Amino acid sequence: MDLTLSQIIDGYLLAANARRLSPHTIADYQTTFNKLTAFLQTDPLFNSIHKSDLERFLAAQPVSKKTLLNYHTGLSALWTWAYDEALATRHLPRSIERPRPEQRAIAPFTQADIKALLGALRYSETYRNHGATASNALQNHDRNRAIILLLLDTGLRADELCSARIQDCNLKNQWLRVFGKGSKERIIPICARTAQTLWKYLASRPDARPEDPLFITLNDTPLDRHRLLKQLNLIGKRAGVSDTHPHRFRHTFAINFLRNGGDIYSLQMILGHSTLDMTKKYLQIAQADIHSAHRLASPVSNWRL
């Protein structure tokens, strides 16, 4: 069959939904496909698209290298499906070198950062009211405390936290069932303090059903990743803590897990990493801490032997 680009995209999206890819992944791919369609300005036959068309498309995108890599990944998913279905004569993205994103430094929260965030949950920023300083009591402070402690205690991804259901949370035995990338299920332990905080938040929702989202908005709608990021940014602004986003909690959990004696294999399972290589970046930071501590505490150095 000689199908157009739009027909191939429609077929792929049906297949992606049938495979239960996450809505976030499908939305990202759809964005890439829309950008490619707009760039080409036509709806060409899929097999008439050349490697140079994709190279020009990628080169024309005014985005970071990380976002460019996401575009390349979306195109690869489309061509892989079409090639496997014998709808594409060539797998064009395989012949295009993957963009290499910048290696950004991992900057975890400090203990002082976390205490400042938790201290900024109950009241709004102060403002002047008829010459006096005032602030407003905030709703959802129990929910937001539970979110912060859960992120810090588990290293959950934003999508994993937002997709969790009440029935996935076992407070008595202190664990949370999570469906990560590729819908892979894993059981993550939580500490007693996190479980207690979740219990307090859920106690404010007496009519909630087991299948309801674990976290909801004030309008009783599911909390999505965009609202989560916005809420954390607002809390960070009130607390004076910059870069307050879900993935930074993930970094903070991973590094402190290793600093406090956790092993890298357990960390890999908790984080849901498919390979140990993805987890080793945290081990390198933790080992650097060990070397620094040794320089300060070595008896040979301190006793001046």
Active-site positions?
157, 181, 247, 250, 273, 282
Which residue has tokens 């995108």?
Answer: 61
Bin 131: left if φ > 0, else alpha if -120 < ψ < 50, else beta. Answer: left
Whether 78 contacts 8, CB under 8 Å? yes
Residue 92 CA to residue 19 CA, distance in Å, equals 23
Residue 272 CA to residue 278 CA, distance in Å, equals 10
| Spatial CA neighbour of 179 closest among 193, 161, 192, 196 | 161
Which residue has tokens 């989560």?
Answer: 228
Element (H, E) at 251: helix 246-259
CA distances from 244 to 35, 110, 161, 275 (A): 30, 12, 16, 27
| Spatial CA neighbour of 74 closest among 62, 85, 86, 58 | 58
Long-range contacts of 149-153 (CB under 8 A, 24+ apart): 149/193, 149/194, 149/197, 150/176, 150/190, 150/194, 150/197, 150/198, 151/246, 151/249, 151/250, 151/253, 152/109, 152/114, 152/249, 152/252, 152/253, 153/190, 153/191, 153/194, 153/253
Any bridge partners for residue 127, and if so which? 134
Greatest alpha-carbon span in the chain: 81
